[in-house]
Chain A
Amino acid sequence: MKFGIVTFPGSNCDYDAYHAVMDVLGETAVYLWHKDHDLQGADVIVLPGGFSYGDYLRAGAIARFSPIMREVVAHASRGGPVLAICNGFQIACEAQLLPGALLRNASLQFISEMVTLRVESTATPFTQEYDPGQLLRLPIAHGEGRYTADTATLDRLEGNGQVVFRYVDAHGTSNLGANPNGSSRHIAGIVNEHRNVLGLMPHPERAMDPLLGSIDGLALFQSLLERVSA
């Protein structure tokens, strides 16, 4: 299975994703330059973390107009999986692949730490290898991760089971103290209505090796393998 990892100017987690796919999963990965017009036959597109275009104007606002994004949007509209991590989540929201927006952390601090997440839905191609309600430890590293949408959108996301990950404490309870950025309803990750685009602030690709303190991101990539080979 082939992963296409988009490199924007300022992406800095593209290599992490490449390593996760090639060295941990043992699958194929290619870098897709932001100026390219060809996804090179990739089955899954990864929009990686970083600071695309310096995050000038707003995080993700300029990257969404990169030439490659036209192909990524077409891939998503054909039902192709898109995994949008951190800055990739911001880009996916700007590109309207996902509803809502990501604002400056409520604390104004850039936060780099391990967080606990609860798997809220396993009915997605990204989470089918997890157990419902499973608690995960994943790293975050962001300054603008406060997910926001209007009340009607949030209600719709909840009602459709599109909220995939929520920030929780060590006991699995969502509360303000466990929410690192002040996101609406403690949301850490969502899917689109067709469940083929996942956006999340935490970094599953950096939690694939015991050396890094957690392997809880591995099942997310394995879920994708299950789906595409099925």
Chain B
Amino acid sequence: MTRYRVRVDIIPRRGLLNPQGKAVADALHTLGFGGVGSVSIGRHIVIDADAPDERAALHSVREMCERLLANPVTEDFEVASVEPALS
């Protein structure tokens, strides 16, 4: 068993109103970042978990996303990285 660190992004589904993102986009415009089109705010989750190999770690985290971490009605998820956890 190796301990892996898996980073996963939970992203609001495109097309759904994300008022949190809109509030931040408005603030960025106020700060002069005129190029900002849209902002959407989701969640970044870091999981340290033991698994026999990287593939198994990924498989397990995907299942966690499907069952709990992401809402299939409103959110998508993407595994951002997987690497051995150093500490």
A77 to chain B, nearest CB (A): 19
Q: Bound complex: CA of A57 vs CA of B23, how far in Å? A: 20
Q: Secondary structure at chain B's binding surface: helix, strand, loop or mixed? A: mixed
> Any chain B CB within 8 A of the CB of A148?
yes
Question: B58-69: contact bitstring with A at CB < 8 Å (1 yes, 0 no)?
Answer: 000000000011
Question: Interface range on chain A: under 10, 10 to 19, 20 to 34, or 35 or more?
Answer: 20 to 34
On chain B, which size bracket covers the interface?
Answer: 10 to 19
- Assess A101 versus B73: contact at CB under 8 Å? Given A57-B68, A61-B68, A65-B68: yes
How many A-B Cβ pairs are below 8 Å? 35
Q: Is the pair A57, B74 in contact by a Cβ cutoff of 8 Å? A: no
Identify the closest chain A residue to B69 (Cβ): A57
Main secondary structure of the interface of A (DSSP, over half): loop
The stretch of A19-27, A102-110, A216-224 in contact with B is: A102-110
Nearest Cβ on chain B to A100's Cβ, whole angstroms: 6
**Chain B residues with CB under 8 A of A123:** none
Inter-chain contacts of B20 with A (CB < 8 A) = 104, 108
Which among A61, A99, A103, A107 has the highest number of chain B CB atoms within 10 Å?
A103
Chain A to chain B contacts (Cβ below 8 Å), 13 pairs: A57-B68, A57-B69, A61-B68, A61-B71, A62-B68, A94-B71, A99-B73, A103-B16, A103-B74, A108-B19, A108-B23, A146-B17, A148-B74
